[in-house]
Chain A
Amino acid sequence: MTALLQVEDLTVEFPTEDGVLPAVRGVSYEVGRGESVGIVGESGSGKSVTSLAVMGLLPRNARVSGSVRLLGEELLGRTDAELSKIRGRTVAMIFQDPLTSLNPVHTVGAQIAEAVLAHRDVPRQVAMRRATELLEIVGIPFPALRAKNYPHELSGGMRQRIVIAIAMANDPELIIADEPTTALDVTVQAQVLEALEAARRETGASLVLITHDLGVIAGHTDRVNVMYAGKLVETGTVDGIFYRPRMPYTLGLLSSLPRIDESGRQRLTPITGSPPSLLTLPAGCPFVPRCPRAESICSTTEPPLLPAGPGHFAACHFHDSVTSFPAPETPASVAPRPSDPILSVRGLVKHFPVRSRGVLRRRIGDVHAVCDVSFDILTHETLGLVGESGCGKTTTGRVLLNLEPATAGSVHFQRRDLVPLSRARMRPLRKDLQIVFQDPYASLDPRMTVNEIIAEPLRIHGRYGSDGRAQVRSLLKTVGLDVEHGNRYAHEFSGGQRQRIGIARALALRPRVLVLDEPVSALDVSIQAGVVNLLEDLQDELGLSYLFISHDLSVVRHIADRVAVMYLGRIVETAPVDELFLRAAHPYTQALISAIPVPDPHKERARERIILTGDVPSPVAPPSGCRFRTRCPKFPTLTDKEQRLCISDVPALVDHGEGHRTACHYAEALTLI
């Protein structure tokens, strides 16, 4: 049997001003008919470039060599016109960002029909009918109506399903999906993965699934290729890779992952350092600087893929003796935590006005971003605030610190209400209440050195005295950065290092409460683990209280003591962390937990999924009663009389004991992991 796709010794280089950048270095792999192959790797590992090379869609300046055979025919060296007959017909591709993948000036129906017409000589109406059929297959309601919509009228999840519809338009043999769900919320990710599976069932196509999310890989692929620094470093069956990894990098990736199915008191195992620059690759194995097992041979000879079991290859000299990645010491368990609230939020409301477009710009409505939110943050604890994009969690964090004025409610800190305080009266309190932002690239001033960035809050509060420099140096040391690097600018650091700079800046004034707004979601997993560990250490050493805002429930499970789940501006459930994950009682929390992929193939495939339909309603006109009822999987199973209660009454947070409170009229605990 010949493979559908055979890639042999593929090399891709980009000439740059600093020299030739070897993005892919001699990669070989096969994809069989009907097979699903995962490609995993961190940003810059060459996983996307590999597949773009297959499609012939690399930028013109790329130098490609090796061989790419599709159904036995060589693709490299063909003209663009020849390749365009294969693209979209035999091989189709799905890209990462659904918000930019569709042309804003054509209707989605026309864009699907265009894919049909590119390869088939059929009348336009036939192509449009086919477009409607495809929309139905990928699960878009009212397909005939939606076909007439422009992309901006549809949500991100819908748009990605349209891209999937385009990919399956001509019954391709192979679909390459490049991070198809990375830009989406988890519940939407579940919908899109479902659509992708539907597309495969319909077309019988093979799948190459490129992602950094090991959970998605575990659930949707047969074989896995792990890439690092432009090379395949391990390849095997999905079980082999997850249960018997043989390359220290793979081991490191798996153990650095916070998992939703594991209680969080154990430390994560970070991979130290960061991926190497491809411009200055060392002679030996590129993983050497980060590898705990490295010996002298590793720095001189780059290992090829060596057989490490049936159908399993690993590029490591010590593949037969590597079985675990040394875990960091778990610090002695900390003294029991006191439980006085340090920050009390009561009835917090934040509305943003929506104004008319007329000259008068009348207020025609409000975005109900935060609606009657109450919670306490206890001293020395981490409260996780989770929810999907647009649920109001970031706004809550900002209003909490009085960075935005609240519409109503109170925030008590040290027996003072922060809400009515003016900027000037707020300033002395700011030193106790700090924030770390999500984007480590945008939140550091590119014209300031790291020393200046960290010193700035000290200067503002008049604390940068004669010992200022020493303070900055000790802060750098605290967050694990080289003190000597203080004179550098932010762009000279990697994402993880920058986030550490942001944390050092927030710590400069010795705050008592730290709002962490998605502090690790922009980072690769191996880097993320280090930052999470740092945050845990700092909390133990300095007795900090955290509000940890995140959409990533796995990280929250790991770091939080208690969790509050938000949906459309309201808190729907709050509980101690293990209680929440093991006995979630609100249908939304249950759906969230069930949507998170677990990086364990057997577990992941055996899990029952609750897939939510539709998208989050507009916060300008939220549904009456329970805001979740329009997407609630439980709602349709209720009797008419029961449903009426959901429509008319806002469910209150009711305590079920042990601080587990749920805002659902028909709450019922479920174990989903």
Chain B
Amino acid sequence: MRRLLAAIPVLIVASFLSYALVALSGDPLEPLKLRNPPAPQRTIDLETERLGLDDNIVVRYGHWLGGVLHGDFGESVQSTYDIGANLTRATTVTLRLVVVAILLALVLAVLTGVVGAVRQYSKSDYALTFTGFVFLAMPLFWVAIVLKDLAVRYNKATGTTVFFTIGETSQGYSGMSPGAKLADVAGHLVLPTLALALITYAAWSRYQRSAVLEVLNSDYVRLARAKGLPWRKVLTRHVLRTALIPLVTVTALDVAGILGGAVITETVFNWNGLGRMLLTGVARADTDAVASWLLLAGLVVIVCNLIADALYAVLDPRIRHE
């Protein structure tokens, strides 16, 4: 709770800075002004009025923030564009990718980390370490492009559409039955999720491996073995739970980075999600849209950190009692 309160001023300062940056970065009416034949002065005045461009930045920011608190995300440069509705739609699309990718990366990281630590210096450890470092070294956009390219070749070679490589849903999605919708969404998720998860899991797997190693060498694992507990039980009861604690921290810290990764992945796979929304917003110098976007991203990061805090308390009684 204390953390939540502390996060509010941070969020306000951050959103003001980003608001000011976008507002000062360009004139949203430039396309209108440079139009040939020139737009009538009256149109430009009306737009200036609608977007509140005559006010100073602090007033504009205050106006926007007041709106946000009432569920109104402000006026877009394009008058037909509803920021709130678009934000909701894009968020559901992107969070799908982010959440599934995080879950997949966590499962991969825990599995490979535990195996690598328990079988330290074995062939499987070396193989996992090597794979991990390969993904650690590769840039996300490249992995995404390679995956996409491989999938396209496979589709062409077999003449089927096993892998969906473009968009978050197929055309004609709205007319599908609920079951078909689900299958379609899942099918489109496969490749982007895989790309994002592979890049993400690699670092986490290293953390997990060293955390498990540390616990394996701890005195309390030795005592658990001295009690006569079978190895499997030592692993599940004494090793896994304590070794998950550091991973929670790392995951929470990495959420912002994964959000950024999702923007890249979406661009590669032509998704119409938060990534495209941000890029178009920036290109149009659409202050209210970009600021709303960043506010939301900040909220997501804070919520994830709160979830991590709650998980700590579940995993570690030392924190619970403080």
The chain A residues found within 8 Å of chain B, CB to CB, are 55, 57, 80-81, 84-89, 92-93, 95, 97, 100-106, 114-115, 118-119, 150, 152-153, 163, 166, 169-170, 357-359
Contact = CB atoms under 8 A, between A and B. Distances in A.
Given A100-B218, A359-B2, A85 B226 contact: no
A359 B228 contact: no
Contacts of B225: 57, 84, 87
Given A57-B222, A105-B241, A85 B318 contact: no
A98 to B, nearest CB: 9
A118 B227 contact: yes
Given A57-B226, A104-B317, A150-B321, A84 B219 contact: no
A623 to B, nearest CB: 24
Contacts of A152: 317-318, 321
Contact of B2 (A92, A102, A163, A358): A358
Given A105-B241, A150-B318, A357-B2, A118 B222 contact: no
B172 interface: no
B295 to A, nearest CB: 22
Contact of A163 (B6, B223, B233, B237): B223
Interface in B307-322: 315-318, 321-322
Interface residues on B, range: 20 to 34
B228 A115 contact: yes
A105 B242 contact: yes
A115 B219 contact: no
Contact of A103 (B5, B220, B230, B315): B220
A363 B32 CA distance: 60
A115 B238 CA distance: 13
B229 A118 contact: yes
Given A150-B321, A152-B318, A358-B2, A104 B242 contact: yes
A357 B6 CA distance: 13
B227 A88 contact: yes
B220 A87 contact: no
A119 B226 contact: no
Contacts, number: 87
B5 A359 contact: yes
B322 to A, nearest CB: 7
A84 B231 contact: yes
Contacts of A89: 228
B218 to A, nearest CB: 6
B30 to A, nearest CB: 44
Contact of B226 (A81, A87, A153): A87
Contacts of A169: 227
15 contacts: A81-B230, A86-B228, A88-B229, A93-B226, A95-B222, A95-B226, A101-B222, A102-B223, A105-B315, A114-B237, A118-B227, A118-B230, A119-B228, A166-B227, A357-B2
Contacts of B5: 359
Contacts of A359: 2, 5-6
Q: Which 7 A-B pairs have the closest CB atoms?
A: A88-B228, A87-B228, A88-B227, A100-B219, A93-B226, A115-B227, A103-B220
A185 B225 CA distance: 27
B242 A103 contact: yes
Contacts of A163: 223
Contact of A92 (B219, B220, B226, B321): B226
Contacts of B238: 103, 106
Interface in B215-270: 218-220, 222-231, 233, 237-238, 241-242
B315 A87 contact: no
B102 to A, nearest CB: 24
A84 B242 contact: no
B322 A101 contact: no
Contacts of A100: 218-220
A97 B224 CA distance: 14
Nearest to A55: B226
A241 to B, nearest CB: 28
A118 B223 contact: no
A219 B88 CA distance: 75
Contacts of A95: 219, 222-223, 226
Nearest to B224: A103
A114 B230 contact: no
A84 B231 CA distance: 8
B231 A81 contact: yes
- The CB with the most chain B CB atoms within 10 A, among A84, A93, A95, is that of A84
Contacts of B231: 80-81, 84
A119 B231 CA distance: 14
A81 B232 CA distance: 10
Contacts of A55: 226
Interface in B278-320: 315-318
A105 B317 contact: yes
Given A84-B228, A166-B223, A359-B2, 4 more contacts: A84-B225, A87-B226, A105-B315, A105-B316
A104 B316 contact: yes
B227 A87 contact: yes
A347 B60 CA distance: 62
A88 B226 contact: yes
Contacts of B218: 100
A84 B222 CA distance: 12
Contacts of A358: 2
A320 B139 CA distance: 75
Contacts of B317: 104-105, 150, 152
Given A104-B316, A105-B242, A357-B322, A84 B230 contact: yes
A106 B220 CA distance: 11
- The CB with the most chain A CB atoms within 10 A, among B5, B226, B238, B316, is that of B226
B219 A97 contact: yes
Nearest to A90: B228
A84 B229 contact: yes
A609 B228 CA distance: 35
Contacts of A85: 228
B54 to A, nearest CB: 39
Nearest to A104: B318
A44 to B, nearest CB: 19
A95 B2 CA distance: 40
A81 B230 CA distance: 6
Contacts of B318: 104, 150, 152
Nearest to B320: A150
Contacts of A97: 219
A153 B228 CA distance: 26
Nearest to B228: A88
A68 to B, nearest CB: 15
A86 B228 CA distance: 7
B262 to A, nearest CB: 33
Contacts of B228: 84-89, 115, 118-119, 170
Contacts of A80: 231
Nearest to B215: A103
B316 to A, nearest CB: 6
Contacts of B219: 95, 97, 100-101
- The CB with the most chain A CB atoms within 10 A, among B228, B241, B315, is that of B228
Contacts of B229: 84, 88, 114, 118
B240 to A, nearest CB: 10
A569 B302 CA distance: 44
A19 to B, nearest CB: 18
A103 B225 CA distance: 12
A57 B231 CA distance: 12
A170 B227 CA distance: 9
Contacts of B226: 55, 57, 87-88, 92-93, 95
Contacts of A118: 227-230, 233
Contacts of B237: 106, 114
B96 to A, nearest CB: 33
Nearest to B239: A103
A50 to B, nearest CB: 15
A336 B315 CA distance: 64
Nearest to A86: B228
Contacts of A86: 228
